[in-house]
Structure 1
Amino acid sequence: MKKFDAGRVRKTVLDMAFSGSTVHIGCAFSIVELLAVLYRNHLRFDAENSRADDRDYMVLSKGHGVMAQYACLHEIGWLSDDDIARYFQNGTRLKGLADAHVPGIEATSGTLGHGLPVGVGLALGAKMKNADQMCYTLVGDGELNEGTIWEAALFAAQFKLDNLVVIVDVNGFQAMGTTDEVISLGDIGAKFSAFDFDVLTVDGHDETAIDHSYQKLKTRKNGRPKALIAKTVKGKGVSFMEHDNIWHYTRLNAQTYEAAVAELQGQA
C-alpha cells in the first residue's frame, strides 16, 4: 500500500466529516495533494517518535483544514482507526481545528494568521542551532488578509530563513465568499517576491509538479525564505463540492456521503 495516497486521504476526510457531523470539507480537500506529497517524499519525520529532535516541521496555519493533516497522520500511524472514527465526538482528542496536543501537530491554529509566525520561529530556532531542519507552513489565501502574515514574512526575510517554505493554498474562497469579493489579493506571487521570498507557482493537485517544486525550494540555500503558490480547487475530488463554497459549512448526510465515496472509488 502506497503511503499518503491522495484518494485514500480524501476518503479518510469524508469518514471523519461524516462520523463527526462536521464542516470544513472543501478546505481540507483543496490541500490533500500538497500534504500527501510533502509527507510522502519530503518531510523528515520518525514514525516511532512524533517529537524527534531532528524532525522537519509542518505547521498548518489554516487550522480549519486539519482533517487533511489528520488523515496523513493516520497514514503514519500516529492516529488510530478509533481516532478517525471518533473525530469531533465527545471525549475525542481530534477537534475541528489543529491542536498541538495531537502527535504530529506542531501548533494549535484556527485563529488565522498565527501559524506562520510560529513557523517562522521554528525555522529561526533551527537556524540558531545550525540544525538541518526545514519548516513548512501551509496558509490559506483568505488568511493573507491577516497582518501577522506579512509581519512574519518581513521577519523571515530579515533573518534569511531559507529553511522556511510557505505553502499558499490559493483556492479562491474564504469563509463568506470569494477572495476577490472580500479583499482582492492581486498577484500573490509578486507580493511574496516583494518581501524577498524565492517564489514558485504550481498546480496544487499535480503531484509530480508539486514534488519537483518542493525539491527545488528545499535545496535552494540562498538566504531567501520560500513561497509555493499552489493553485487549487476548493472541494477537489468530489464534483458536487468543487468550486462550491457551501461546503465550507455544510455537513454530510447519508446520501451525500455515499455519493462522495462512490465518486472517489470511481477515480481509484
Structure 2
Amino acid sequence: MYTLKKSLGQHFLRDENICRKIVDALQEQPFNRLLEVGPGGGALTKYLLELPGIDFRAVELDAEKVQFLEATYPALKGKLIHRSFLDIDCPFEQPFTLVGNFPYNISTQILFKVLEWENQVERVIGMFQKEVAQRVAAPPGSKVYGVISVLVQAWYEVQYLFDVPPGCFKPPPKVMSGVIALVPRNEVPDMRSRRDFFLLVKTAFNQRRKTLRNAVKSLFPPEVLTDAIFQQRAEQLSVADFAALTFKMNGKNG
C-alpha cells in the first residue's frame, strides 16, 4: 500500500458516496479534457478513468503514490504528471476541466494558478477546507469576503455544492471540508488591466479594517480619493466596483 504524508497535506477520501457526488457534479456539464489534482490513493481516479471519451491526466507530487497508482490502475500509464501542480505548465493546449480533493496546504495557491492560466480552465470542481470554500464563494459584505473571493469571482461564478464531514477521510482532518464549482463568467467586468486589478484588491484587503481611502491612498491621485466610495471598507465593494476603480488609479503602477 502507501503511507500518508502530513507534510503534503494528505487526507485521502474514502467515502464512495462523496466520490460519486463529485463525479456527478462534474458531469453536469460536458467536457473533453480533465486534469485531476492530487489523486493520492485513487478514490476519485477510479471513477474518472471510467468516463468515456475523455482525455484524462492527473498530477501527483508524491513518488510513492505515483507508483501505487500506476500499479493499481494500469490505464493511468502515461497519464500521470509526477510534479507539484504549482510547478507544471498548462497540461492541455485547449480548455480543460479541473477536479480534485485539493491538498489543503496549497489550496488557495491552486486557485491563483487557475487564474494565471486565464481562459484555459473551463470549469473547476474542487474540495477545500470548508472555511476556504466559503471564502471563495462569499458575497460582498460577508465577514469572510476577501482577496480570494474577489479575484476568483471576477472570472468565475462560484457555487458552494456540499459539505464533507471529517469521517469521509483517512486520516480524518480536524475540520469540515466543502466542495465548490467554478464556472467561467459570461462577462468579465471591464478593468484597466489584470495587474492593476490584482494590486488594488490585495492592497485594499491588506488593511481591511481601514476605510479604502486610507488603505489604498498610495494607488490613487488625491482628488480621486474624495469620492464617496473611498469611505467604505474593502469588504463592502463588489467585484465590479473594484474593476471600475482600476481606471482611476495612478498611471502605470509598477
TM, length-normalised to structure 2: 0.40
More strand by share: 2
Point out the structure with max Rg over C-alpha. 2
